[in-house]
Structure 1
Amino acid sequence: MSGDLKLTQTRIRAGIWEGVLSGAGAQAPKIEVLHLEKPLSGVAVMPVPGREGECAVRVPIPPEVLSEGVQTFLIRAGSETLAHFTVITGVAMEDDLRAEIDLLRAELDMLKRAFRRHCLESM
């Protein structure tokens, strides 16, 4: 498999992950999407008209694989992992790393404002 393949996500809409595969050459490679090491069905790879070497990739996300928590999907061409995406559902977990990062950002912004105010007042 060529190491020149690059898969770029464009969006997730109506339960379908979409992306553009570049470096595909004249023939679109076989793409496999795995969730918990099981392949998903319905993956479509179609050449993009007028853009040689590029293919549109569509991955339907089956509702039966979604459950509370984080679900990770691997997109592969042969043995090469091209990309991955995650879907988070259910109640936000207190230990979720993204929630912790958002909290840290908010606290850092508060500290920056307080420090700037202190610097202005002490001048």
Structure 2
Amino acid sequence: MNDIRLVKTRLHAGIWEGELHVPDDARALPDLEVTHLDQPVSGHVLDEDPERAGVWFFRVALPAELISDGVQVFVISNRDTGAKLAHFSIIAGEALADDMRAEMALLRAELDMLKRAFRRHCVDTGAN
């Protein structure tokens, strides 16, 4: 059962989606568990892919009450073996203030503001 893999396909509209790949020699599907801060998150769904043997679609909706400032980590594991199959993080709020992408967006906004001010200055000095 060590060959069981959970591969993320996307996170869309608050739903994390992945594909569970189970080898042919597995006796049963693993009992999957989603946790956040070591507390179970309910509501995941596992549906068999009708076109591919051994592949299952896994979906879990992220409860709104678990999304807050900072980094929230969700872990998907095999409840029977304790093996971690996947994890994902949601970053929101103040934690983004130090994020490089947020800094770049802020710099771009400030540069746009300076460009507008410079263009106004050039127009004003050219007219006088």
User: TM-score, structure 1 length as denominator?
Assistant: 0.72
Structure whose residues are more often helix by fraction: 2
- Residue 21 of structure 1: CA displacement? 0.7
Q: Take 1:33 and 1:68, find their aligned partners in 2: how far apart are those partners?
A: 20
Gaps of 5+ in 2: 105-128
Q: Take 1:19 and 1:8, find their aligned partners in 2: how far apart are those partners?
A: 5
Find out whether 1:93 has 2:92 as its counterpart: no
Contact 1:69 1:89 in 2 (8 A): yes
Q: Take 1:77 and 1:24, find their aligned partners in 2: how far apart are those partners?
A: 15
Q: Take 1:68 and 1:77, find their aligned partners in 2: how far apart are those partners?
A: 28
Cα distance 1:88–1:24, how it changes in 2: closer, same or farther (>3 A)?
Answer: farther
The residue identity in structure 2 corresponding to 1:83 is A
Secondary structure of the 1:93 match is: helix
The equivalent residue for 1:46 is: 47
Find out whether 1:63 has 2:64 as its counterpart: yes
Q: Take 2:49 and 2:29, find their aligned partners in 1: how far apart are those partners?
A: 10
Which entry has the higher C-alpha Rg, 1 or 2? Answer: 2
- Residue 17 of structure 1: CA displacement? 0.2
The residue identity in structure 2 corresponding to 1:36 is L
Secondary structure of the 2:30 match is: coil
Contact 2:22 2:29 in 1 (8 A): no
Gaps of 5+ in 1: 104-123
Contact 1:28 1:46 in 2 (8 A): no
Quick one: percent identity of the two aligned structures?
A: 41
Alignment match of 2:83 (pick from 80, 85, 88): 80
Contact 1:6 1:82 in 2 (8 A): yes
Q: How large is the RMSD of aligned CA atoms in angstroms? A: 1.9
The equivalent residue for 2:20 is: 21
User: TM-score, structure 2 length as denominator?
Assistant: 0.69
